[in-house]
């Protein structure tokens, strides 16, 4: 059951050309030269001065505040949309009920 099954290739139909046999004059030896390996540039250590650390912290805080404001505004937009859809549904239900009573 778990043995791989290799399909048997049926005999080819149509015209079959025999494979070309290479001769010794067709083959030329090729010498491969290795490509030069590029050297990685040396990296210097990043030095944080108190001023740059303060600027980095202020930048991170600003990013957190901006992302938070965007997320809160998106949540508020969803809440307002949901509330307006609920009000529209109530008004439509009342209108349909009034139309049915009038018949």
Q: Is the pLDDT of residue 79 over 70?
A: yes
pLDDT (average), residues 44-57: 87
Instruction: Give me the residue label for tokens 């209108």.
Output: 95
* Residues 84-100 pLDDT 10s: 999 999 999 999 999 98
| pTM (two decimals) | 0.45
Dihedral of the alpha carbons of 53, 54, 58, 64, in degrees to the nearest 10:
40
Higher pLDDT, 79 or 10: 79
Q: How far are the Cα atoms of 3, 42, 62 from residue 50, in angstroms, in the given order?
A: 68, 25, 18
Higher pLDDT, 65 or 46: 65
* Residues 57-66 pLDDT 10s: 999 999 999 9
């Amino acid at each position: 059951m778990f043995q791989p099954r290799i399909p048997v290739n049926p005999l080819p139909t149509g015209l079959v050309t025999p494979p070309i046999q290479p001769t010794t004059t067709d083959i030329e030896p090729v010498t491969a030269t290795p490509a030069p390996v590029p050297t990685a540039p040396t990296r210097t250590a990043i030095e944080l001065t108190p001023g740059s650390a303060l600027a980095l912290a202020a930048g991170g805080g600003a990013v957190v505040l901006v992302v938070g404001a965007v997320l809160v505004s998106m949540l508020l937009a969803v809440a307002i949309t949901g509330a307006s859809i609920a009000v529209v549904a109530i008004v439509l239900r009342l209108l349909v009920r009034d139309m049915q009573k009038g018949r």
